[in-house]
Amino acid sequence: MTSQSDENRDSGFGTRDSNPESPIPNPGNHAVNVVAWDIPTAIVVREKFRIKVGVKCAHECDLANTDFGVYDHEGTQVAAGTFPVERWPGTTALHVAEVELEAPSVEGLYTWSVRSPSRTDGEVTHAEESVSFGVRVVANPEYLVTVETVDGIDRTPVSGARVVMHPYRAVTDERGIARVRVAKGAYKLFVSQTRYVTFGLPVEVDADMTARAELYVEPVTERN
């Protein structure tokens, strides 16, 4: 793409020399950058979610009102939109739109994409460009896991500890208790808090359950 646009730009100079009335100073192809972000780390099956998409010309042309489409893992268009006139705050040429999507009905990791078709502005052609992003779809979390977290030495509750059963997570309250809703399955339960060594426990969830985490203070050694 880059070499092609360089080539066209070179031939464009030649063309302009032989045609001084050309009103466009720099005819050619411009590279376009399409980005996607703010994608949730995990989405429950069939749930709606939102992402941000953006477009920018490498030469900072105004790409207001450029169309875009979002395509799923089978190449089916699942959303369409138009980039707004406004530039994203702090940028000179990035146009950003938010788009609502719906997760597939089967759990898994999917690759979707955002595509902006080519557009021609006078003698400048903005090439079609796309970017792909991952959509992690998880089962409906139907079981409740209660995690009781205590200090392993003095048995006091540990509050503010992060409880992770990937991709589900929660934080312990002042009584050291966190409740995590998860789908049926096998997990590694992790409990961490700045002062303590991270606690890890394999758990199999097929009903509501309670787990107990005893945290021990990080030993004072060379390591961090």
CA dihedral of residues 196, 198, 204, 206 (deg, nearest 10): 50
177 binds Zn ion, rule: CB under 5 A: no
- Nearer to Zn ion by Cβ, of 59 and 136: the residue is 59
Which two three-digit tokens encode residue 212?
A: 């107990």
In the block, residue with structure tokens 């787990």: 211
Distance between start and end Cα atoms, the chain: 46
Q: How far is the CB of 30 from Zn ion (least distance, A)?
A: 3
State how far the Cα of 77 lies from the Cα of 116, in Å rounded to an integer: 12
- Nearer to Zn ion by Cβ, of 26 and 77: the residue is 26
Q: How far is the CB of 37 from Zn ion (least distance, A)?
A: 22
Closest residue to Zn ion: CB criterion: 61
- Nearer to Zn ion by Cβ, of 47 and 121: the residue is 121
Binding mask 45-64 for Zn ion (x = CB under 5 A): ------------x-x-x---
Which residues face 101 on adjacent strands? 49
Binders of Zn ion: how many residues, by CB under 5 A? 4
- Nearer to Zn ion by Cβ, of 26 and 210: the residue is 26
30 binds Zn ion, rule: CB under 5 A: yes
Which two three-digit tokens encode residue 205?
A: 């969830």
Instruction: Reply yes or no: is the peptide bond before residue 167 cis, omega within 30 of 0.
Output: yes
Binding-site ranges for Zn ion (CB under 5 A): 30, 57, 59, 61
